[in-house]
Amino acid sequence: MPKGYWVSVYPAIEDPEGLESYNELAGVAVKAAGGRLLAGIGSRVAAYEAGIAERVVLIEFDSFERAVAAYESAAYEKALAELPAGFERDFRIIEALD
Domains of the chain: 4-95 (3.30.70.100)
Q: Which position has the higher pLDDT, 13 or 10?
A: 10
What pLDDT is stored for residue 57 in this prediction? 92
* pLDDT tens digits for range 22-80: 999 999 999 999 999 999 877 888 889 988 777 889 999 999 999 999 999 999 999 99
Instruction: Indicate whether 81 pLDDT > 90.
Output: yes
The CB-side HSE value for 14 (13 A sphere, CA atoms) comes to 6
**CA dist list (Å): 83 to 22, 30, 39:** 6, 16, 20
The answer on pLDDT for 15 being more than 80 is no
Q: What is the pLDDT of residue 78?
A: 97
